[in-house]
Structure 1
Amino acid sequence: MMQTPLLKVGMDALPVFCPNPQMPHWSSHPRVFIDVSHGEASCPYCGTRYALDHHATVTSDTTSV
């Protein structure tokens, strides 16, 4: 069985969504947002796996604008 690709994303790529901009247009599916705040998550449509870069951390912003 072929394993789906793992794409590491940094804080600058948040929020993560699939299909991502690098995917070919012909393989499009409805856009879904992927929650990578707990490490790794996969797209329910195509199975592409996304992981937060291990050098990046997710923090919660509690300040109001």
Structure 2
Amino acid sequence: MNATKTPAVELGDKDLPAHCPNPAMPLWSSHPRVFLDFGHDGLAKCPYCGTEYRLKPGTVMAHH
């Protein structure tokens, strides 16, 4: 079987704080909401469904 990799979902400032499932996902594929923790590389992966997220270049993460 030949699996194709789905491109990462790109997020900007207006999408933060980021969570999965995201609003574009169909209801049938829903799982409990989990907030995403981005690494220094700007990447995060959902622990439930494996969807990959990437911050758009120039996106600033606010720190508390």
Give the TM-score normalised by structure 2. 0.80
Say whether the 8 Å CA contact 1:37–1:52 is kept in structure 2.
no
Greater strand proportion: 1
State the Cα deviation string for residues 2-23 of structure 1 (Å, max 9, x = none): 3243001001100100000000
User: Which residue does the alignment assign to 2:11?
Assistant: 9
- After TM superposition, the runs of 4+ consecutive aligned structure 1 residues lying more than 3 A away are none
Say whether the 8 Å CA contact 1:4–1:47 is kept in structure 2.
no
Task: Name the larger-Rg structure.
Answer: 1
Greater mean alpha carbon deviation, residues 26-35 or residues 49-58: 49-58
Q: How many Å separate the matches in 2 of 1:37 and 1:14?
A: 14
Shift of 1:37: 5.2
Consecutive unaligned residues in structure 1, runs of 5 or more: none
* Identical counterparts, % of pairs: 51
1:51 aligns with 2:54: yes
Say whether the 8 Å CA contact 1:17–1:32 is kept in structure 2.
yes
Aligned length: 61
Say whether the 8 Å CA contact 1:16–1:36 is kept in structure 2.
no
